């Protein structure tokens, strides 16, 4: 009689569950290769978190899947429900009957039957994968597929796993990841389990993001804005070179080698990721560099590595680019957050890593204003966000990014030494006295720097951030009575009062000709540009008060006497003091190089966590 009552209760529970699922609005997101599973000719081992199993049991019912359920008392009811939903059941866990259950699951998987496992069950810790899933996949010779479901609204129970029950008529999102091969190269079961765990975190984060109202709205708004951008771009690109028109629309040569795509917006950001790209290429891993500005494209071309413009952030252009390159990973520098690109990559199960990540207070306020904490949820799906400074890490966390993916690694720009300037460059300044190179200057800075330099007895070389401003800057300086020459004109600098740098790609080496450097974007409120470049040449630096992008490095430089902070009124005194500071150049160089090697090591570790071992 008790068996009949139990069976009746099981059927009643099943009916309620079926009615619950019938009320859900389900959005199933799958990778480009399509859904997996034996009914679709692709047997796999599904991996899902214990807290999210109910919606997936309902969505994959009657597909002949064998699932591993513990021998504990709470597993008895789950096993009964699973059988009523058409699942086969193997009983066992890490604490009871684990070895026999693992062998049985591997045998079933090897026979071509789909299997499913909750690698953090039956008692946790929650969201931590155990190596057993990797052993089942290897012995069963089938790939593991991370899969997650999220519903909004949902009840969250106070159990060890924070079990979630989507409410009736909830909007449900299911995200299926890319199959992970059963034997990742040179990875222990523990390392492979960490890789699967990170992928499970990604699909879970994407499911949570897309299930909530804010996430869906963000996707729609970003898509609509991108489509409008695409229409406008057709007209805006008419006057651009042919290769740029194609690349901005995502039309690039197809790659069959699945490269690591590394993106930096401008020449400075590209130079910052070149050491990483070179490291990967030297070990036989294919790479593809992208950028956004023409100066960045020139830097990509000079590198000798394959590359292109990043497509404009239109869904059509982005999809075309991702289809052609088929990246095995996407690496973005600093704060290159393009919503359609990131969502497209993450939904394709492309591991994403941010390097040299920075987030200023003004950018933080803007992101909060435009998107609240939605951007934080999206960035939480990254394998790693590798920040330059602790302050950047704190700001990313305050944006809502999961702290587990944030780490402080320093700046990879310290790995790229452009080399000393040719001897002929220094000879051009013969008879000019001490030289100051002012790099990446912004509107409002050139006049102040030039006049303060002359007052301090220094010969100024000014490199505007944007070369299209050269005429404007030259006219401004001439109106102050300064005889201005262009670097490209050649000849000795002594025939003028100031030189304007009108060639791209030489600023980092030209700093080596200076007795002192000024870094722009620090008097104008832009947060500062690359302080590291002059420091790597052993040159003392002056910056304005707006240097938040390099706060930690500036503070350390001030401490040892290699950097001085001054407002516009105090520039002349600061220039004079730093030109005669007498600090050993090797000490300044070591400051610029600090953290570079650690940044590279942590980057390689992040790739390994994403399953890319080099």
The number of CA neighbours under 13 Å toward the Cβ of 167 is 6
pLDDT-derived band at 374 (thresholds 50, 70, 90) equals confident
Q: Which two three-digit tokens encode residue 295?
A: 């100066």
pLDDT tens-place string over residues 77-93: 788 888 888 899 998 76
Residues 195, 473: Cα–Cα separation, whole Å: 52
Q: Which residues contact 591 (CB under 8 A, 6 or more apart)?
A: 535, 553, 556, 557, 560, 562
Handedness of CA 314, 319, 320, 326 (dihedral sign): positive
Mean pLDDT, rounded, for 40-66: 90
pLDDT tens-place string over residues 147-192: 999 999 999 998 888 989 899 999 999 999 999 988 766 778 888 8
Does 315 score more than 50 pLDDT? yes
Residues 119, 425: Cα–Cα separation, whole Å: 62
Q: Which residues contact 327 (CB under 8 A, 6 or more apart)?
A: 258, 259, 260, 261, 288, 345, 350
Higher pLDDT, 575 or 218: 575
Nearest CA to 173 out of 27, 61, 30, 58 is that of 27
412, 599 Cβ separation under 8 angstroms: yes
Q: Which two three-digit tokens encode residue 125?
A: 């810790």
For 47-56, 225-234, 248-257, which range has the lowest pLDDT when averaged over its residues? 225-234
Mean pLDDT, rounded, for 429-443: 92
Per-residue confidence (pLDDT) for residue 147, from 0 to 100: 96
pLDDT tens-place string over residues 262-272: 999 988 889 88
Strand partners, 386: 407
What totals of helices (H) and strands (E) does the chain contain, helices first? 24, 21
469, 501 Cβ separation under 8 angstroms: no
Per-residue confidence (pLDDT) for residue 260, from 0 to 100: 97
Per-residue confidence (pLDDT) for residue 140, from 0 to 100: 94
Residues 546, 566: Cα–Cα separation, whole Å: 10
Mean pLDDT, rounded, for 12-22: 76
pLDDT-derived band at 377 (thresholds 50, 70, 90) equals confident
Residues 270, 77: Cα–Cα separation, whole Å: 56
pLDDT-derived band at 94 (thresholds 50, 70, 90) equals low
Strand partners, 260: 287, 329
Which residues belong to CATH 3.40.50.2000 in the chain?
Answer: 423-594
Does 15 score more than 90 pLDDT? no
Per-residue confidence (pLDDT) for residue 394, from 0 to 100: 92
Average pLDDT, the chain: 88
pLDDT tens-place string over residues 1-13: 334 334 555 566 6
Mean pLDDT, rounded, for 39-59: 90
Q: Which residues contact 84 (CB under 8 A, 6 or more apart)?
A: 10, 11, 14
> How many CB atoms are closer than 10 A to CB 573?
15
Q: What is the CATH number of domain 423-594?
A: 3.40.50.2000
Per-residue confidence (pLDDT) for residue 372, from 0 to 100: 67
* Alpha helices for 372-469 (secondary structure H): 374-379, 390-398, 423-427, 446-455
Mean pLDDT, rounded, for 332-339: 88
Backbone conformation region of residue 385, classed left if phi is above 0, alpha if psi is from -120 to 50, else beta: beta
Residues 291, 433: Cα–Cα separation, whole Å: 38
Does 499 score more than 60 pLDDT? yes
DSSP string, 55-91: HHHHHTTTS--EEEE-SSHHHHHHHHHHHHTT-EEEE
Does 220 score more than 80 pLDDT? yes
Angle of helix 315-325 versus helix 213-236 axis, rounded to 10: 90
Backbone conformation region of residue 594, classed left if phi is above 0, alpha if psi is from -120 to 50, else beta: beta
Does 309 score more than 90 pLDDT? yes
pLDDT tens-place string over residues 551-594: 878 888 999 999 999 999 999 999 999 998 888 888 888 887 76
pLDDT-derived band at 202 (thresholds 50, 70, 90) equals very high
Residues 203, 198: Cα–Cα separation, whole Å: 9
Greatest mean pLDDT among 120-129, 189-198, 444-453, 522-531 lies in 444-453
Residues 383, 4: Cα–Cα separation, whole Å: 50
Residues 261, 254: Cα–Cα separation, whole Å: 13
Residues 614, 184: Cα–Cα separation, whole Å: 12
Per-residue confidence (pLDDT) for residue 2, from 0 to 100: 34
Residues 496, 403: Cα–Cα separation, whole Å: 54
Determine whether domain 219-411+598-609 maps to CATH 3.30.2420.10: no
pLDDT tens-place string over residues 268-307: 889 889 999 999 999 999 999 999 999 899 999 999 999 9
Mean pLDDT, rounded, for 325-345: 92
Which residues belong to CATH 3.40.50.11720 in the chain?
Answer: 219-411+598-609
Residues 203, 355: Cα–Cα separation, whole Å: 22
């Amino acid at each position: 009689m008790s068996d009949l009552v139990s069976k009746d209760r099981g059927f009643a529970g099943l009916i309620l569950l079926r009615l619950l699922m019938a009320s859900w609005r389900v959005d199933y997101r799958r990778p480009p290769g399509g859904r997996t599973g034996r009914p679709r000719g692709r047997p796999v081992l599904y991996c899902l978190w214990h807290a999210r199993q109910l919606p997936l049991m309902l969505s994959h019912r009657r597909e002949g899947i064998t699932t591993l359920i513990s021998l504990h008392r709470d597993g008895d009811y789950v096993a009964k429900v699973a059988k009523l939903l058409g699942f086969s059941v193997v009983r066992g866990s890490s604490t009871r009957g684990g070895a026999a259950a693992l062998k049985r699951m591997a045998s079933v998987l090897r026979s071509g039957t789909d299997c499913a496992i909750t690698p953090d069950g039956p008692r946790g810790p929650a969201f931590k994968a155990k190596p057993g899933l990797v052993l089942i996949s290897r012995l069963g010779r089938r790939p593991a597929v991370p899969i997650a479901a999220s519903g909004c609204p949902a009840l969250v129970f106070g159990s060890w796993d924070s079990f979630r029950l989507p409410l009736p008529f909830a909007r449900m999102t299911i995200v299926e990841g890319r199959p992970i091969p059963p034997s990742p190269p040179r990875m222990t079961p523990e390392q492979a389990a960490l890789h699967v765990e990170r992928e499970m975190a990604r699909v879970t984060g994407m499911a949570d993001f897309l299930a909530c109202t804010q996430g869906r709205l963000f996707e729609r708004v970003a898509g609509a804005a991108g489509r409008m951008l695409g229409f406008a771009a057709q007209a805006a690109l008419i006057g651009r070179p042919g290769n740029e028109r194609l690349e901005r629309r995502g039309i690039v040569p197809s790659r069959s080698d699945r490269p690591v795509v590394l993106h930096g917006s401008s020449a400075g950001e590209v130079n910052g990721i070149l050491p990483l790209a070179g490291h990967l290429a030297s070990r036989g891993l294919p790479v593809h560099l992208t950028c956004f500005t023409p100066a960045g494209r020139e830097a990509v071309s000079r590198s000798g590595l394959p590359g292109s413009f990043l497509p404009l952030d239109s869904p059509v252009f982005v999809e075309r680019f991702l289809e052609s390159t088929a990246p095995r990973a996407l690496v973005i520098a600093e704060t290159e957050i393009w919503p359609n690109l990131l969502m497209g990559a993450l939904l394709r199960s492309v591991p994403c890593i941010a390097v040299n990540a920075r987030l200023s207070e003004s950018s933080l306020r803007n992101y909060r204003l435009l998107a609240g904490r939605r951007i934080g949820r999206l960035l939480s799906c990254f394998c790693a966000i590798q920040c330059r400074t602790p302050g950047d890490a704190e700001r990313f966390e305050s944006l809502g990014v999961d702290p587990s993916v944030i780490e402080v690694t320093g700046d990879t720009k310290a790995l790229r030494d452009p080399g000393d300037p040719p001897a002929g460059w220094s000879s051009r300044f013969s008879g000019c006295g001490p030289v100051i190179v002012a790099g990446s200057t912004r509107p409002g800075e050139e006049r102040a720097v030039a006049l303060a330099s002359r007052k301090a007895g220094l010969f100024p070389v000014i490199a505007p951030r944007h070369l299209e401003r050269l005429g404007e800057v030259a006219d401004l300086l001439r109106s102050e009575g300064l005889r201005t020459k262009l670097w490209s004109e050649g000849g000795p600098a002594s025939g003028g009062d100031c030189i304007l740098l009108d060639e791209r790609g030489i600023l980092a080496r030209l700093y080596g000709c200076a007795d002192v450097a000024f870094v722009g974007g620090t008097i104008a409120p832009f947060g500062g540009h690359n302080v590291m470049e002059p420091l790597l040449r052993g040159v003392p630096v002056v910056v304005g008060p707006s240097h938040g992008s390099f706060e930690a490095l500036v503070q350390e430089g001030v401490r040892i006497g290699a950097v001085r902070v001054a407002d516009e009124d105090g520039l002349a005194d600061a220039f004079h003091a730093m030109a005669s500071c007498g600090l050993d150049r090797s000490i300044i160089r070591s400051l610029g190089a600090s953290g570079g090697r650690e940044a590279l090591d942590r980057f390689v570790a992040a790739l390994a966590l994403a399953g890319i071992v080099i």
